[in-house]
Amino acid sequence: MPTTALEPEKILKDLRNLWIDLGRENDLAGGVLRACGMTLVVAAEADMDMDALRHTLGVLMHTHPARAIVLRFHDSAGMQANVFSQCWMPFGKHQQICAEGIEIRAGRNELDDVAQLLLPLLAPDLPAVLWCRGPRVFWGDGFKPLHPLVEKIIVDSSTASDPYGALEAITSLRKQGRLVGDLSWTKLTGLRELIASLFDEGAAKGIRNVEVRYGGDMPTASALYCATWIRRSLSVPVTLKHTHEGPPGLRAIQLSGEHDVLLTRPDRTTMEVHCGERVRKSTMLLLSEETLMSEELSILGPDAAFDKVIA
């Protein structure tokens, strides 16, 4: 699509023309259905893989159709925009379903202008979500102008070089009254369900203390979240311990009590549960970015479990 002047009316006109063109192209093939349940604003670095992002957005649109607004920030000044569409045809159907998108490229010093441009571009009377795709787009106060425009901010603290600083940034956003989700927390859903099942089955009784072991130079955000979740759920001391075994990340959890239980991660997709002489293996699915985002987009209100951990 050709570049447009950055005036909201012209961008919205381009969107209308986009739908007219899509309707003409699909007129003989069953037509096209316009789908939109929210606005998904994606803030990212200028050098990101746009094809990969469009693929991710295309997958998300199947379950969360939205007007996608992609913001690509660079160090130089100057704003440009173009419109695009993401279409798919449900199996066995002859009608395409399409969602619309706007890509805006701007300098980091033009955030106030971007925020003013965004306001009339949000889908009316529908929720808006800001996805900060990358560490720089939620670090510090530079992106504050975008925050009042949305109901929820989604980040991924695993992309930050300083996990402690990333969690401090999330805590700061929450103190400002922002609803925040973190994909690093979402990745722990399967592990939290596994640990909860140990208590339901009676395998973990009378836990007195817990040790969370991590690889790498410092604990990852997921390791920090896991330790805090266990401490606040069980009201027991939890220690973070570095281990040289395995790659960086959460490596093992030792639950010490009436029955000692050790959870280890021999590889990326397996969790072993050691209870006495018994060893049980559980598969830990590697969740894609689309799957993690889909789960977060399904929770547009408060997440009680995450609120308890990040408070």
Predicted confidence (pLDDT) per residue in 177-197, tens digit: 999 999 999 999 999 999 988
The span from the CA of 238 to the CA of 229, in Å, is 10
Helix (H) or strand (E) holding 254: strand 249-256
Q: What percent of the chain has pLDDT over 70?
A: 92
Q: Residue 203, exposed/middle/buried by CB under 10 A (0-12, 13-18, 19+)? A: middle
The answer, yes or no, to whether residue 136 has pLDDT greater than 70, is: no
pLDDT grade for 26, boundaries at 50, 70 and 90 = low
Name which of 132, 136, 67, 151 is nearest 103 in CA terms.
67
Query: Terminal CA-to-CA distance of the chain, rounded, Å?
Result: 45
> Which pair of tokens denotes residue 259?
């029955």
DSSP output for 83-151? EEEEEE--TT-SSEEEEEEEEEEEEGGGHHHHHHHHGGGSPTTS-EEEEEESGGGTSSSTTGGGGGG-S
pLDDT grade for 140, boundaries at 50, 70 and 90 = low
| pLDDT tens-digit map of 102-125 | 999 998 888 899 999 999 999 999
DSSP output for 27-90? GGGT-EEE--S-EEEEEEETTS-HHHHHHHHHHHHHHS--EEEEEEEESS---EEEEEEEEE--
Taking the model in full, what pTM does it have?
0.89
| Residue 156 phi, psi (nearest 5) | -135, 95
For 246, the 3-state DSSP assignment is: coil
